[in-house]
A and B are shown apart, each in its own frame.
Chain A
Amino acid sequence: MSFEQRRRFLWILFLAGLALLAGIANATTLARMRFEDLAQQATAVARVRCVGAESRWENGEIWTETRFEVEEQNKGSLPSFVTVKMLGGRVGNLHSRIEEVPTFRAGEEAYVFLWTRNGEPYRVLGWTQGTFRIARDSRTGLETVTQDSAATPMFDLRTRQFRHGGIRNLPVAIFQLKLRKALERNAL
Chain B
Amino acid sequence: MKNRKKRCFASVLAAFYGMWFAPIAQAYSFDMIVPDVRQPASVSGGSACPVKAHQLTPAGSIAFRWSTVLNTNPVTIVTQNQTASGKLTEIQQVISQSMAVWTGVTGTALTSATFAPLTQTTTQNACGSDGIDSICFDQADAAFTPGVLAFTRVIVTDRIGLQVGSSPVATQAGQILDADIYFNPSGSQVAFATPQALAANPTAYDFESVLTHELGHTLGFSHSAVWSAMMFPFAPAPGTFSGVRPTAQQPDAPLGDDDRTGLRVLYPNPADTVHQGSIRGQIFPANPLALPASPPGVTGVFGTHVVAVDASNGAVMGATMGGWSCTAPGPAQFDGTYEIDGLPVGSSYTVYAEALNGAVNPSQVTDAINSLCRNATTDPGWPPLQGCVVPAVNTSFTTRTRPGP
Across the two chains, which residue of chain A brings its CB closest to B160? A93
Q: Which of B128, B150, B159, B316 contacts A60 (CB 8 A)?
A: B128
Q: Evaluate contact between A17 and B13: CB separation under 8 angstroms.
A: yes
- Give complex CA distance A86, B363 in Å: 18
Across the two chains, which residue of chain B brings its CB closest to A108? B363
Query: Given A28-B234, A29-B148, A86–B227 Cβ distance below 8 Å?
Result: no
Q: Evaluate contact between A8 and B314: CB separation under 8 angstroms.
A: yes
- Residues in B with CB closer than 8 Å to A41 are 146-147
Interface centre among A95, A127, A153 (most CB of B within 10 A): A95
Separation in Å of the B24 CB from the closest CB of chain A?
A: 6
Instruction: Judge if B177 is at the interface, Cβ distance under 8 Å.
Output: yes
- Residues in A with CB closer than 8 Å to B316 are 16
Separation in Å of the B46 CB from the closest CB of chain A?
A: 15
Instruction: Judge if B157 is at the interface, Cβ distance under 8 Å.
Output: yes
Q: Evaluate contact between B359 and A152: CB separation under 8 angstroms.
A: yes
Instruction: Judge if A98 is at the interface, Cβ distance under 8 Å.
Output: yes
- Residues in A with CB closer than 8 Å to B9 are 6, 9-10, 13
Across the two chains, which residue of chain A brings its CB closest to B17? A17
- Residues in A with CB closer than 8 Å to B214 are 28
Q: Evaluate contact between A27 and B143: CB separation under 8 angstroms.
A: no
Q: Which of A26, A37, A60, A153 contacts B149 (CB 8 A)?
A: A26
Query: Given A13-B13, A87-B141, A62–B151 Cβ distance below 8 Å?
Result: no
Q: Evaluate contact between B162 and A146: CB separation under 8 angstroms.
A: no
Instruction: Judge if B272 is at the interface, Cβ distance under 8 Å.
Output: no
Interface string of B88-101 (1 = CB under 8 A from A): 00000000000000
Instruction: Judge if A174 is at the interface, Cβ distance under 8 Å.
Output: no
Q: Which of A27, A123, A129 contacts B234 (CB 8 A)?
A: A27
- Give complex CA distance A120, B186 in Å: 16
- Residues in B with CB closer than 8 Å to A173 are none
Instruction: Judge if B236 is at the interface, Cβ distance under 8 Å.
Output: yes
Query: Given A20-B24, A28-B235, A98-B152, A129–B314 Cβ distance below 8 Å?
Result: no
Interface string of B215-258 (1 = CB under 8 A from A): 00100001101111000011111101000000000000000000
- Residues in B with CB closer than 8 Å to A85 are 142
Q: Evaluate contact between B31 and A9: CB separation under 8 angstroms.
A: no
- Residues in A with CB closer than 8 Å to B152 are 29, 98-99
Query: Given A9-B314, A16-B227, A26–B234 Cβ distance below 8 Å?
Result: yes
Interface size on A, residues (CB 8 A): 66
- Residues in B with CB closer than 8 Å to A103 are 366-367
- Give complex CA distance A168, B5 in Å: 38
Across the two chains, which residue of chain B brings its CB closest to A61? B129
Instruction: Judge if B23 is at the interface, Cβ distance under 8 Å.
Output: yes
- Give complex CA distance A123, B148 in Å: 12
Instruction: Judge if B190 is at the interface, Cβ distance under 8 Å.
Output: yes
Separation in Å of the A30 CB from the closest CB of chain B?
A: 6
Instruction: Judge if A182 is at the interface, Cβ distance under 8 Å.
Output: no
Q: Evaluate contact between B235 and A97: CB separation under 8 angstroms.
A: no
Separation in Å of the A89 CB from the closest CB of chain B?
A: 11
Query: Given A20-B227, A93-B157, A151–B24 Cβ distance below 8 Å?
Result: yes
Instruction: Judge if B308 is at the interface, Cβ distance under 8 Å.
Output: no
- Give complex CA distance A25, B162 in Å: 40
Instruction: Judge if B155 is at the interface, Cβ distance under 8 Å.
Output: yes
Interface string of A83-115 (1 = CB under 8 A from B): 001111000011111111101000000000001
Q: Which of B316-357 contact A (CB under 8 A)?
A: 316, 348, 350, 352
Q: Evaluate contact between B155 and A126: CB separation under 8 angstroms.
A: no
- Give complex CA distance A92, B226 in Å: 34
Q: Evaluate contact between B361 and A151: CB separation under 8 angstroms.
A: yes
Q: Evaluate contact between A100 and B151: CB separation under 8 angstroms.
A: yes
Q: Evaluate contact between B234 and A152: CB separation under 8 angstroms.
A: yes
Across the two chains, which residue of chain B brings its CB closest to A164? B359
Across the two chains, which residue of chain B brings its CB closest to A165? B234
Q: Which of B34-87 contact A (CB under 8 A)?
A: 36, 39, 53
Across the two chains, which residue of chain A brings its CB closest to B12? A10
- Give complex CA distance A154, B21 in Å: 12
Interface string of A120-149 (1 = CB under 8 A from B): 100111111110010100000000001010
- Residues in A with CB closer than 8 Å to B156 are 94-95, 97
Q: Which of B110-145 contact A (CB under 8 A)?
A: 128-130, 141-143, 145
Q: List 27 A-B contacts (CB under 8 A).
A: A1-B5, A1-B7, A9-B309, A12-B314, A17-B23, A19-B228, A21-B21, A24-B235, A25-B234, A25-B235, A27-B149, A27-B234, A28-B149, A32-B147, A60-B129, A61-B129, A87-B141, A93-B162, A96-B153, A99-B151, A124-B145, A125-B145, A126-B147, A151-B359, A152-B233, A153-B359, A154-B234
**4 other A-B residue contacts (CB within 8 Å) besides A1-B7, A5-B311:** A24-B234, A30-B149, A98-B151, A126-B147
Interface residues of A (CB under 8 A from B): 1, 5-6, 8-10, 12-14, 16-17, 19-33, 37, 41, 59-62, 85-88, 93-101, 103, 115, 120, 123-130, 133, 135, 146, 148, 151-154, 157, 168
A-B pairs, top 7 by smallest CB distance, nearest first, are: A12-B314, A126-B147, A25-B237, A87-B143, A20-B23, A60-B128, A33-B147
